Amino acid sequence: MNEILEALEKTYGPQQATGPTDAYEMIVYLNCGYPASDAWCSKGFDVLKREVGLSPRELLAAPRAKLAKLLRLGGILPDQRAERLQEIARRVKGDYGGDLQAALTGCMQEEKQQPGRGVRAAKKILREFPVIGEPSAEKILLFSKLAPVAAVPSAFVEVPTRLWVGKPGKNYAADYRAARDTLSAGLAETLEARQRAYLLLKKHGQQTCKRSEPKCEICPLTGQCAYIQLQAADRHVV
pLDDT tens digits, 205-216: 999 999 888 999
Task: Write out the residue range of the structural domain in which residue 171 sits.
Answer: 2-15+152-235
- Are 134 and 184 in a shared domain? no
pTM: 0.92
pLDDT tens digits for range 14-66: 999 999 999 999 999 999 999 989 999 999 999 999 999 999 999 999 999 99
pLDDT tens digits for range 56-106: 999 999 999 999 999 999 999 999 999 999 999 999 999 999 999 999 999
Q: Using CA of residue 4, residue 8, residue 13, residue 15, what is the dihedral sign?
A: negative
Q: What is the DSSP string of 182-202?
A: HHHHHS-SSHHHHHHHHHHHH
Instruction: Report the domain count for the chain.
Output: 2
- Are 105 and 178 in a shared domain? no
- Of 89, 114, 143, the one marking the end of a domain is 143
- Are 48 and 126 in a shared domain? yes
- Are 129 and 215 in a shared domain? no
Can you give the CATH number for the domain in which 222 is found? 1.10.1670.10
* pLDDT value, residue 149: 96
- Are 130 and 50 in a shared domain? yes
Can you give the CATH number for the domain in which 137 is found? 1.10.340.30
- Of 97, 118, 143, the one marking the end of a domain is 143
Q: What is the DSSP string of 98-155?
A: T-HHHHHHHHHHHHHHSTTHHHHHHHHHHTTSTT--HHHHHHHHHHTTS-------GG
- Are 28 and 137 in a shared domain? yes
- Are 27 and 7 in a shared domain? no
* pLDDT value, residue 98: 95
- Are 81 and 55 in a shared domain? yes
- Of 143, 177, 198, the one marking the end of a domain is 143
- Are 49 and 127 in a shared domain? yes
- Are 101 and 162 in a shared domain? no
- Are 136 and 33 in a shared domain? yes
- Are 78 and 136 in a shared domain? yes
Number of helices (H) and strands (E), helices first, in the chain? 13, 0
Name the pLDDT band for 234 (thresholds 50, 70, 90). low
Q: Over 60: is that where the pLDDT of 7 sits?
A: yes
Q: How far is it, in rounded angstroms, from Cα 198 to Cα 186?
A: 13
